[in-house]
Structure 1
Protein backbone atom coordinates (compact mmCIF):
# COMPACT_ATOMS: atom_id res chain seq x y z
CA UNK A 1 0.00 0.00 0.00
CA UNK A 2 1.27 3.43 -0.96
CA UNK A 3 0.97 5.91 1.93
CA UNK A 4 2.10 9.06 0.14
CA UNK A 5 -0.71 11.62 -0.28
CA UNK A 6 -3.12 9.41 1.66
CA UNK A 7 -5.29 11.11 4.29
CA UNK A 8 -5.14 9.15 7.53
CA UNK A 9 -7.34 9.50 10.63
CA UNK A 10 -5.66 8.27 13.82
CA UNK A 11 -7.73 7.76 16.97
CA UNK A 12 -5.84 8.24 20.23
CA UNK A 13 -3.44 10.29 18.15
CA UNK A 14 -2.40 12.97 20.63
CA UNK A 15 0.25 10.94 22.46
CA UNK A 16 2.12 7.67 22.57
CA UNK A 17 1.79 5.31 19.60
CA UNK A 18 -0.78 7.50 17.86
CA UNK A 19 1.37 10.62 17.90
CA UNK A 20 4.44 8.68 16.78
CA UNK A 21 2.39 7.26 13.91
CA UNK A 22 1.29 10.78 12.97
CA UNK A 23 4.94 11.91 12.83
CA UNK A 24 6.05 9.00 10.67
CA UNK A 25 3.06 9.21 8.32
CA UNK A 26 3.70 12.92 7.83
CA UNK A 27 7.34 12.16 6.96
CA UNK A 28 6.11 9.83 4.22
CA UNK A 29 4.00 12.57 2.65
CA UNK A 30 0.61 11.61 4.10
CA UNK A 31 -2.02 14.01 5.42
CA UNK A 32 -2.87 13.30 9.05
CA UNK A 33 -5.93 13.93 11.20
CA UNK A 34 -5.69 12.99 14.86
CA UNK A 35 -8.44 12.69 17.42
CA UNK A 36 -8.56 12.10 21.15
CA UNK A 37 -10.34 13.10 24.35
CA UNK A 38 -7.70 15.40 25.85
CA UNK A 39 -7.78 18.87 24.29
CA UNK A 40 -4.48 19.93 25.93
CA UNK A 41 -2.65 16.99 24.38
CA UNK A 42 -4.26 17.68 21.02
CA UNK A 43 -3.18 21.32 21.22
CA UNK A 44 0.38 20.29 22.10
CA UNK A 45 0.52 17.86 19.18
CA UNK A 46 -0.79 20.53 16.83
CA UNK A 47 1.76 23.04 18.09
CA UNK A 48 4.63 20.59 17.58
CA UNK A 49 3.35 19.50 14.16
CA UNK A 50 1.30 22.28 12.53
CA UNK A 51 0.48 20.09 9.49
CA UNK A 52 -1.72 17.89 11.69
CA UNK A 53 -5.47 18.46 11.88
CA UNK A 54 -6.60 17.84 15.48
CA UNK A 55 -10.23 17.13 16.44
CA UNK A 56 -11.40 16.43 19.98
CA UNK A 57 -13.54 13.29 20.11
CA UNK A 58 -14.17 10.25 22.31
CA UNK A 59 -14.55 6.99 20.37
CA UNK A 60 -16.71 5.61 23.18
CA UNK A 61 -19.28 8.38 22.68
CA UNK A 62 -21.72 7.93 19.79
CA UNK A 63 -22.46 11.66 19.51
CA UNK A 64 -18.74 12.46 19.37
CA UNK A 65 -18.21 9.80 16.71
CA UNK A 66 -20.96 11.21 14.50
CA UNK A 67 -19.59 14.74 14.93
CA UNK A 68 -16.11 13.49 14.03
CA UNK A 69 -17.48 11.88 10.87
CA UNK A 70 -19.16 15.11 9.80
CA UNK A 71 -16.03 17.16 10.41
CA UNK A 72 -13.81 14.71 8.53
CA UNK A 73 -16.29 14.62 5.64
CA UNK A 74 -16.19 18.43 5.47
CA UNK A 75 -12.39 18.24 5.26
CA UNK A 76 -12.63 16.00 2.20
CA UNK A 77 -12.70 12.57 3.81
CA UNK A 78 -10.01 9.98 4.51
CA UNK A 79 -8.29 7.06 2.81
CA UNK A 80 -7.18 5.23 5.96
CA UNK A 81 -8.81 4.88 9.38
CA UNK A 82 -6.29 3.84 12.02
CA UNK A 83 -8.15 2.65 15.12
CA UNK A 84 -5.36 3.16 17.63
CA UNK A 85 -7.27 4.35 20.73
CA UNK A 86 -7.22 1.84 23.56
CA UNK A 87 -7.57 1.63 27.33
CA UNK A 88 -6.68 -0.84 30.05
CA UNK A 89 -7.83 -0.91 33.67
CA UNK A 90 -5.37 -1.76 36.48
CA UNK A 91 -4.91 -5.52 36.99
CA UNK A 92 -7.73 -7.17 38.93
CA UNK A 93 -7.78 -10.52 40.75
CA UNK A 94 -10.80 -12.19 39.15
CA UNK A 95 -10.86 -14.81 41.89
CA UNK A 96 -12.05 -12.24 44.44
CA UNK A 97 -15.56 -10.87 44.06
CA UNK A 98 -15.70 -7.08 43.87
CA UNK A 99 -17.52 -4.38 41.95
CA UNK A 100 -14.52 -3.42 39.80
CA UNK A 101 -14.65 -6.37 37.41
CA UNK A 102 -17.73 -5.41 35.43
CA UNK A 103 -17.04 -1.68 35.49
CA UNK A 104 -13.53 -2.17 34.14
CA UNK A 105 -14.62 -4.68 31.53
CA UNK A 106 -17.39 -2.41 30.24
CA UNK A 107 -14.95 0.50 29.95
CA UNK A 108 -12.39 -1.56 28.04
CA UNK A 109 -14.98 -3.06 25.70
CA UNK A 110 -16.59 0.32 25.03
CA UNK A 111 -13.30 1.83 23.85
CA UNK A 112 -11.29 -1.15 22.59
CA UNK A 113 -14.10 -2.98 20.78
CA UNK A 114 -17.38 -1.10 20.41
CA UNK A 115 -15.57 2.17 19.68
CA UNK A 116 -13.82 0.57 16.72
CA UNK A 117 -17.04 -0.87 15.30
CA UNK A 118 -18.77 2.48 15.80
CA UNK A 119 -16.18 4.35 13.71
CA UNK A 120 -15.83 1.60 11.12
CA UNK A 121 -19.58 1.66 10.52
CA UNK A 122 -19.48 5.42 10.00
CA UNK A 123 -16.45 5.53 7.70
CA UNK A 124 -16.68 2.28 5.74
CA UNK A 125 -18.74 3.62 2.84
CA UNK A 126 -16.34 6.55 2.52
CA UNK A 127 -13.40 4.17 2.38
CA UNK A 128 -15.15 2.00 -0.21
CA UNK A 129 -15.41 5.05 -2.47
CA UNK A 130 -11.63 5.59 -2.50
CA UNK A 131 -9.31 4.09 -5.10
CA UNK A 132 -7.02 2.63 -2.42
CA UNK A 133 -8.10 2.59 1.21
CA UNK A 134 -7.68 0.73 4.47
CA UNK A 135 -8.73 0.14 8.03
CA UNK A 136 -6.08 -0.56 10.67
CA UNK A 137 -7.27 -2.16 13.92
CA UNK A 138 -4.83 -2.45 16.82
CA UNK A 139 -5.29 -5.68 18.76
CA UNK A 140 -2.48 -7.01 20.98
CA UNK A 141 -0.03 -9.75 21.79
CA UNK A 142 -2.77 -10.66 24.31
CA UNK A 143 -5.21 -11.51 21.54
CA UNK A 144 -2.98 -14.56 20.98
CA UNK A 145 -2.86 -15.62 24.64
CA UNK A 146 -4.68 -14.23 27.70
CA UNK A 147 -2.99 -12.46 30.56
CA UNK A 148 -4.18 -13.53 34.00
CA UNK A 149 -3.46 -10.01 35.22
CA UNK A 150 -5.37 -8.37 32.35
CA UNK A 151 -8.14 -10.82 31.65
CA UNK A 152 -10.81 -8.34 30.58
CA UNK A 153 -8.35 -6.31 28.49
CA UNK A 154 -7.26 -9.55 26.78
CA UNK A 155 -10.91 -10.39 26.13
CA UNK A 156 -11.56 -7.01 24.52
CA UNK A 157 -8.61 -7.51 22.18
CA UNK A 158 -9.68 -11.06 21.28
CA UNK A 159 -13.12 -9.70 20.39
CA UNK A 160 -11.52 -7.06 18.18
CA UNK A 161 -9.20 -9.61 16.55
CA UNK A 162 -12.08 -11.92 15.60
CA UNK A 163 -14.14 -8.98 14.35
CA UNK A 164 -11.20 -7.72 12.26
CA UNK A 165 -10.61 -11.07 10.59
CA UNK A 166 -14.31 -11.57 9.94
CA UNK A 167 -14.67 -8.07 8.47
CA UNK A 168 -11.75 -8.72 6.13
CA UNK A 169 -13.43 -11.89 4.84
CA UNK A 170 -16.84 -10.22 4.45
CA UNK A 171 -15.29 -7.47 2.34
CA UNK A 172 -13.44 -10.03 0.23
CA UNK A 173 -16.70 -11.87 -0.45
CA UNK A 174 -18.41 -8.72 -1.71
CA UNK A 175 -15.34 -7.81 -3.80
CA UNK A 176 -14.52 -4.68 -1.83
CA UNK A 177 -11.00 -3.32 -2.27
CA UNK A 178 -10.78 -1.88 1.28
CA UNK A 179 -7.74 -3.43 2.96
CA UNK A 180 -8.15 -4.59 6.56
CA UNK A 181 -4.95 -4.61 8.61
CA UNK A 182 -4.50 -5.97 12.12
CA UNK A 183 -1.59 -4.60 14.14
CA UNK A 184 -0.49 -6.90 16.98
CA UNK A 185 1.96 -5.04 19.24
CA UNK A 186 3.96 -6.47 22.13
CA UNK A 187 4.32 -4.36 25.29
CA UNK A 188 5.02 -0.80 24.13
CA UNK A 189 6.63 1.90 26.28
CA UNK A 190 3.63 4.21 26.76
CA UNK A 191 1.83 5.80 29.69
CA UNK A 192 -0.45 2.76 29.96
CA UNK A 193 2.45 0.59 31.18
CA UNK A 194 4.71 3.27 32.64
CA UNK A 195 4.67 1.64 36.09
CA UNK A 196 5.73 -1.79 34.83
CA UNK A 197 9.16 -3.34 34.63
CA UNK A 198 10.20 -5.75 31.93
CA UNK A 199 10.82 -5.63 28.22
CA UNK A 200 9.12 -2.87 26.21
CA UNK A 201 9.63 -1.60 22.70
CA UNK A 202 9.47 2.05 21.76
CA UNK A 203 6.51 3.57 19.87
CA UNK A 204 9.01 4.52 17.15
CA UNK A 205 10.01 0.88 16.62
CA UNK A 206 6.40 -0.26 16.60
CA UNK A 207 5.30 2.31 14.02
CA UNK A 208 8.25 1.52 11.77
CA UNK A 209 7.12 -2.10 11.82
CA UNK A 210 3.53 -1.05 11.11
CA UNK A 211 4.59 0.98 8.08
CA UNK A 212 6.68 -1.89 6.70
CA UNK A 213 3.64 -4.15 7.01
CA UNK A 214 1.32 -1.64 5.34
CA UNK A 215 3.69 -1.11 2.43
CA UNK A 216 3.92 -4.90 1.91
CA UNK A 217 0.14 -5.44 2.26
CA UNK A 218 0.83 -7.72 5.23
CA UNK A 219 -2.63 -7.93 6.78
CA UNK A 220 -1.57 -9.39 10.16
CA UNK A 221 1.33 -7.25 11.35
CA UNK A 222 3.03 -8.86 14.35
CA UNK A 223 5.87 -6.85 15.86
CA UNK A 224 8.73 -8.10 18.06
CA UNK A 225 7.65 -10.46 20.84
CA UNK A 226 4.14 -10.69 19.36
CA UNK A 227 5.64 -12.45 16.35
CA UNK A 228 7.80 -14.73 18.53
CA UNK A 229 4.94 -15.64 20.86
CA UNK A 230 2.67 -16.44 17.91
CA UNK A 231 5.19 -18.97 16.59
CA UNK A 232 5.81 -20.54 20.03
CA UNK A 233 2.08 -20.84 20.69
CA UNK A 234 1.56 -22.81 17.50
CA UNK A 235 3.97 -25.53 18.65
CA UNK A 236 4.21 -25.20 22.46
CA UNK A 237 1.01 -23.55 23.74
CA UNK A 238 1.68 -24.36 27.41
CA UNK A 239 5.10 -22.76 27.22
CA UNK A 240 3.63 -19.68 25.51
CA UNK A 241 1.04 -19.33 28.29
CA UNK A 242 3.77 -19.49 30.92
CA UNK A 243 5.80 -16.84 29.13
CA UNK A 244 2.87 -14.41 29.27
CA UNK A 245 1.70 -15.09 32.82
CA UNK A 246 3.13 -14.83 36.37
CA UNK A 247 5.38 -17.63 37.57
CA UNK A 248 4.03 -17.54 41.14
CA UNK A 249 0.53 -17.44 42.55
CA UNK A 250 1.61 -14.59 44.85
CA UNK A 251 1.89 -12.34 41.80
CA UNK A 252 -1.87 -12.67 41.33
CA UNK A 253 -3.01 -12.95 44.94
CA UNK A 254 -1.31 -9.68 45.87
CA UNK A 255 -3.64 -7.70 43.59
Structure 2
Protein backbone atom coordinates (compact mmCIF):
# COMPACT_ATOMS: atom_id res chain seq x y z
CA UNK A 1 0.00 0.00 0.00
CA UNK A 2 1.35 3.39 -0.97
CA UNK A 3 1.72 6.00 1.76
CA UNK A 4 2.88 8.99 -0.28
CA UNK A 5 0.02 11.40 -0.89
CA UNK A 6 -2.29 9.68 1.60
CA UNK A 7 -3.98 11.51 4.48
CA UNK A 8 -3.53 9.60 7.73
CA UNK A 9 -5.34 10.10 11.04
CA UNK A 10 -3.35 8.86 14.05
CA UNK A 11 -5.09 8.67 17.42
CA UNK A 12 -2.83 9.17 20.43
CA UNK A 13 -0.39 10.90 18.12
CA UNK A 14 1.03 13.59 20.40
CA UNK A 15 3.78 11.40 21.86
CA UNK A 16 5.43 7.99 21.79
CA UNK A 17 4.63 5.63 18.92
CA UNK A 18 1.96 7.91 17.51
CA UNK A 19 4.26 10.92 17.19
CA UNK A 20 7.06 8.80 15.73
CA UNK A 21 4.59 7.41 13.20
CA UNK A 22 3.52 10.95 12.33
CA UNK A 23 7.15 11.91 11.70
CA UNK A 24 7.88 8.92 9.48
CA UNK A 25 4.65 9.26 7.51
CA UNK A 26 5.39 12.96 6.93
CA UNK A 27 8.87 12.03 5.71
CA UNK A 28 7.23 9.72 3.15
CA UNK A 29 5.08 12.51 1.80
CA UNK A 30 1.83 11.80 3.60
CA UNK A 31 -0.49 14.36 5.18
CA UNK A 32 -0.93 13.61 8.87
CA UNK A 33 -3.61 14.46 11.42
CA UNK A 34 -2.92 13.57 15.04
CA UNK A 35 -5.23 13.51 18.04
CA UNK A 36 -4.68 13.43 21.78
CA UNK A 37 -6.19 14.50 25.09
CA UNK A 38 -3.34 16.79 26.16
CA UNK A 39 -3.39 20.14 24.39
CA UNK A 40 0.12 21.01 25.57
CA UNK A 41 1.53 17.84 24.01
CA UNK A 42 -0.37 18.53 20.81
CA UNK A 43 1.02 22.06 20.66
CA UNK A 44 4.55 20.75 21.24
CA UNK A 45 4.13 18.18 18.48
CA UNK A 46 2.81 20.83 16.09
CA UNK A 47 5.75 23.10 16.89
CA UNK A 48 8.16 20.24 16.27
CA UNK A 49 6.49 19.19 13.02
CA UNK A 50 4.66 22.23 11.56
CA UNK A 51 3.08 20.20 8.74
CA UNK A 52 0.99 18.26 11.26
CA UNK A 53 -2.68 18.97 11.87
CA UNK A 54 -3.34 18.50 15.59
CA UNK A 55 -6.85 18.06 17.02
CA UNK A 56 -7.67 17.64 20.69
CA UNK A 57 -9.84 14.53 21.03
CA UNK A 58 -10.28 11.78 23.61
CA UNK A 59 -10.32 8.33 21.97
CA UNK A 60 -12.67 7.04 24.66
CA UNK A 61 -15.24 9.83 24.42
CA UNK A 62 -18.24 9.44 22.08
CA UNK A 63 -18.90 13.18 21.74
CA UNK A 64 -15.24 13.83 20.92
CA UNK A 65 -15.33 11.10 18.29
CA UNK A 66 -18.36 12.59 16.55
CA UNK A 67 -16.79 16.06 16.57
CA UNK A 68 -13.50 14.66 15.29
CA UNK A 69 -15.28 13.10 12.34
CA UNK A 70 -16.84 16.42 11.38
CA UNK A 71 -13.51 18.23 11.73
CA UNK A 72 -11.71 15.67 9.58
CA UNK A 73 -14.50 15.74 7.00
CA UNK A 74 -14.11 19.53 6.78
CA UNK A 75 -10.39 19.06 6.15
CA UNK A 76 -11.09 16.83 3.14
CA UNK A 77 -11.21 13.41 4.78
CA UNK A 78 -8.64 10.64 5.27
CA UNK A 79 -7.31 7.56 3.52
CA UNK A 80 -5.92 5.73 6.56
CA UNK A 81 -7.23 5.55 10.11
CA UNK A 82 -4.48 4.42 12.49
CA UNK A 83 -6.01 3.49 15.85
CA UNK A 84 -2.93 3.91 18.02
CA UNK A 85 -4.36 5.40 21.24
CA UNK A 86 -4.45 3.07 24.25
CA UNK A 87 -4.45 3.20 28.03
CA UNK A 88 -2.96 0.86 30.62
CA UNK A 89 -4.23 0.82 34.18
CA UNK A 90 -1.53 0.16 36.82
CA UNK A 91 -1.03 -3.58 37.48
CA UNK A 92 -3.20 -5.21 40.13
CA UNK A 93 -3.94 -8.62 41.59
CA UNK A 94 -7.30 -9.93 40.36
CA UNK A 95 -7.37 -12.29 43.32
CA UNK A 96 -7.76 -9.39 45.75
CA UNK A 97 -11.29 -8.07 46.17
CA UNK A 98 -11.41 -4.51 44.83
CA UNK A 99 -13.76 -2.28 42.85
CA UNK A 100 -10.69 -0.89 41.12
CA UNK A 101 -10.53 -3.98 38.90
CA UNK A 102 -13.90 -3.25 37.32
CA UNK A 103 -13.22 0.48 37.07
CA UNK A 104 -9.85 -0.08 35.43
CA UNK A 105 -11.22 -2.72 33.06
CA UNK A 106 -14.08 -0.44 31.99
CA UNK A 107 -11.67 2.39 31.29
CA UNK A 108 -9.30 0.20 29.27
CA UNK A 109 -12.15 -1.37 27.29
CA UNK A 110 -13.69 2.03 26.53
CA UNK A 111 -10.47 3.42 25.05
CA UNK A 112 -8.71 0.31 23.74
CA UNK A 113 -11.74 -1.49 22.30
CA UNK A 114 -15.06 0.38 22.21
CA UNK A 115 -13.38 3.63 21.18
CA UNK A 116 -11.77 1.90 18.20
CA UNK A 117 -15.08 0.44 17.06
CA UNK A 118 -16.72 3.85 17.44
CA UNK A 119 -14.14 5.59 15.24
CA UNK A 120 -14.17 2.79 12.68
CA UNK A 121 -17.96 3.04 12.39
CA UNK A 122 -17.76 6.80 11.93
CA UNK A 123 -14.99 6.78 9.31
CA UNK A 124 -15.73 3.56 7.40
CA UNK A 125 -18.06 5.21 4.89
CA UNK A 126 -15.49 7.92 4.20
CA UNK A 127 -12.76 5.34 3.76
CA UNK A 128 -14.92 3.21 1.45
CA UNK A 129 -15.20 6.20 -0.90
CA UNK A 130 -11.42 6.29 -1.39
CA UNK A 131 -9.61 4.42 -4.13
CA UNK A 132 -7.21 2.86 -1.62
CA UNK A 133 -7.84 3.02 2.11
CA UNK A 134 -7.02 1.21 5.33
CA UNK A 135 -7.78 0.91 9.02
CA UNK A 136 -4.89 -0.04 11.29
CA UNK A 137 -5.82 -1.48 14.69
CA UNK A 138 -3.02 -1.87 17.23
CA UNK A 139 -3.32 -5.03 19.32
CA UNK A 140 -0.45 -6.65 21.26
CA UNK A 141 1.41 -9.88 21.88
CA UNK A 142 -0.68 -9.87 25.07
CA UNK A 143 -3.66 -10.75 22.88
CA UNK A 144 -1.86 -14.06 22.29
CA UNK A 145 -0.70 -14.76 25.85
CA UNK A 146 -2.13 -12.70 28.73
CA UNK A 147 -0.04 -10.83 31.28
CA UNK A 148 -0.94 -11.72 34.85
CA UNK A 149 -0.15 -8.23 36.07
CA UNK A 150 -1.92 -6.55 33.14
CA UNK A 151 -4.84 -8.92 32.83
CA UNK A 152 -7.57 -6.43 31.92
CA UNK A 153 -5.33 -4.63 29.42
CA UNK A 154 -4.55 -8.01 27.83
CA UNK A 155 -8.28 -8.71 27.65
CA UNK A 156 -9.00 -5.40 25.92
CA UNK A 157 -6.36 -6.14 23.30
CA UNK A 158 -7.68 -9.68 22.81
CA UNK A 159 -11.15 -8.28 22.20
CA UNK A 160 -9.69 -5.86 19.67
CA UNK A 161 -7.77 -8.63 17.91
CA UNK A 162 -10.92 -10.76 17.44
CA UNK A 163 -12.92 -7.73 16.30
CA UNK A 164 -10.21 -6.76 13.80
CA UNK A 165 -10.14 -10.18 12.19
CA UNK A 166 -13.94 -10.31 12.07
CA UNK A 167 -14.19 -6.84 10.52
CA UNK A 168 -11.72 -7.85 7.82
CA UNK A 169 -13.79 -10.89 6.86
CA UNK A 170 -17.09 -8.97 7.01
CA UNK A 171 -15.78 -6.42 4.53
CA UNK A 172 -14.53 -9.16 2.23
CA UNK A 173 -18.00 -10.74 2.22
CA UNK A 174 -19.77 -7.49 1.32
CA UNK A 175 -17.11 -6.45 -1.17
CA UNK A 176 -15.62 -3.62 0.87
CA UNK A 177 -12.37 -2.13 -0.40
CA UNK A 178 -10.91 -0.93 2.92
CA UNK A 179 -7.89 -2.93 4.07
CA UNK A 180 -8.15 -3.99 7.71
CA UNK A 181 -4.72 -4.31 9.25
CA UNK A 182 -3.79 -5.72 12.64
CA UNK A 183 -0.55 -4.29 14.01
CA UNK A 184 1.03 -6.51 16.67
CA UNK A 185 3.96 -4.78 18.36
CA UNK A 186 6.27 -6.20 21.02
CA UNK A 187 7.07 -4.18 24.14
CA UNK A 188 7.93 -0.66 22.94
CA UNK A 189 9.95 1.96 24.82
CA UNK A 190 7.33 4.65 25.61
CA UNK A 191 6.04 6.57 28.63
CA UNK A 192 3.56 3.76 29.24
CA UNK A 193 6.36 1.20 29.66
CA UNK A 194 8.93 3.46 31.37
CA UNK A 195 8.88 1.41 34.59
CA UNK A 196 9.43 -1.90 32.79
CA UNK A 197 12.94 -3.37 32.69
CA UNK A 198 12.11 -5.96 30.04
CA UNK A 199 13.56 -5.96 26.53
CA UNK A 200 12.02 -3.14 24.50
CA UNK A 201 12.07 -2.01 20.90
CA UNK A 202 12.38 1.69 20.07
CA UNK A 203 9.37 3.58 18.74
CA UNK A 204 11.42 4.39 15.64
CA UNK A 205 12.05 0.73 14.84
CA UNK A 206 8.45 -0.17 15.65
CA UNK A 207 7.12 2.34 13.12
CA UNK A 208 9.67 1.25 10.51
CA UNK A 209 8.26 -2.26 10.89
CA UNK A 210 4.72 -0.95 10.49
CA UNK A 211 5.56 0.95 7.31
CA UNK A 212 7.43 -2.04 5.87
CA UNK A 213 4.34 -4.17 6.46
CA UNK A 214 2.09 -1.57 4.84
CA UNK A 215 4.27 -1.39 1.74
CA UNK A 216 4.24 -5.20 1.51
CA UNK A 217 0.42 -5.34 1.79
CA UNK A 218 0.40 -7.47 4.94
CA UNK A 219 -2.97 -7.90 6.68
CA UNK A 220 -1.22 -8.73 9.96
CA UNK A 221 1.97 -6.83 10.75
CA UNK A 222 4.12 -8.37 13.47
CA UNK A 223 7.07 -6.23 14.46
CA UNK A 224 10.31 -7.30 16.18
CA UNK A 225 9.94 -10.05 18.76
CA UNK A 226 6.22 -10.32 18.01
CA UNK A 227 7.21 -12.43 14.98
CA UNK A 228 9.04 -15.12 16.94
CA UNK A 229 6.58 -14.88 19.83
CA UNK A 230 3.74 -15.81 17.50
CA UNK A 231 5.54 -19.03 16.55
CA UNK A 232 6.52 -19.82 20.12
CA UNK A 233 2.95 -19.36 21.31
CA UNK A 234 1.65 -21.63 18.57
CA UNK A 235 4.02 -24.52 19.20
CA UNK A 236 5.14 -23.95 22.82
CA UNK A 237 2.26 -22.09 24.52
CA UNK A 238 3.44 -22.77 28.09
CA UNK A 239 6.88 -21.42 27.29
CA UNK A 240 5.38 -18.33 25.66
CA UNK A 241 3.15 -17.77 28.69
CA UNK A 242 6.22 -17.97 30.91
CA UNK A 243 8.00 -15.39 28.77
CA UNK A 244 5.17 -12.93 29.34
CA UNK A 245 4.90 -13.85 33.01
CA UNK A 246 8.37 -14.40 34.51
CA UNK A 247 8.68 -15.23 38.21
CA UNK A 248 9.30 -11.58 39.09
CA UNK A 249 5.73 -10.81 38.03
CA UNK A 250 4.51 -13.31 40.64
CA UNK A 251 6.22 -11.25 43.32
CA UNK A 252 4.37 -8.13 42.15
CA UNK A 253 1.08 -9.96 42.64
CA UNK A 254 2.00 -11.00 46.17
CA UNK A 255 3.02 -7.49 47.23
TM-score bucket (shorter structure): over 0.9
2:218 is paired with a residue whose SS is coil
Aligned position for 2:31: 31
- Deviating above 3 A after TM superposition, structure 1's stretches of 4 or more consecutive aligned residues are none
**For 1:48 and 1:111, how far apart are their aligned partners in 2?**
27
CA distance in 1, matches of 2:185, 2:125: 28
Q: Give the CA RMSD over aligned residues.
A: 0.8
SS in 1 for 2:247: coil
* 2:192 alignment partner in structure 1: 192
Q: How many equivalent residue pairs?
A: 254
Q: Deviations over 1:182-201 (max 9, x none)?
A: 10011100000111112111
Q: For 1:95-110, what aligned pairs fall within 5 Å after superposition? A: 95-110=95-110
Following superposition, the deviation at residue 93 of structure 1 comes to 0.5
Q: Secondary structure at the match of 1:89?
A: coil
Secondary structure of 1:137's partner? Answer: strand
CA contact (8 A) 1:246 1:252 kept: no
Using the alignment, how far apart are the partners of 1:250 and 1:3 within structure 2? 45
Cross-structure match for 2:245: 245
Please list the CA deviations of residues 176-232 of structure 1 after superposition, one character each: whole Å capped at 9, or x if unmatched: 110001100111000001111121110000000000000111111111121111101
Q: Deviations over 1:137-159 (max 9, x none)?
A: 00001011100010000000000
TM-score by length of 1: 0.98
Per-residue CA deviation, residues 26-56 of structure 1 (Å, 9 max, x unaligned), is 0000000000100000000000111000000
- Give the Cα separation in 2 of the matches to 1:182 and 1:210: 10
Aligned to 2:181: 181
Alpha-carbon shift at residue 247 of structure 1 (Å): 1.8
Q: C-alpha separation between the residues in 2 aligned to 1:62 and 1:241?
A: 35
Give the CA deviation at 1:72. 0.3
How many angstroms does 1:246 deviate by? 2.6
User: For structure 1, which segment, 219-228 or 65-74, has the greater mean C-alpha deviation from structure 2 after superposition?
Assistant: 219-228
1:97 aligns to what SS in structure 2? coil
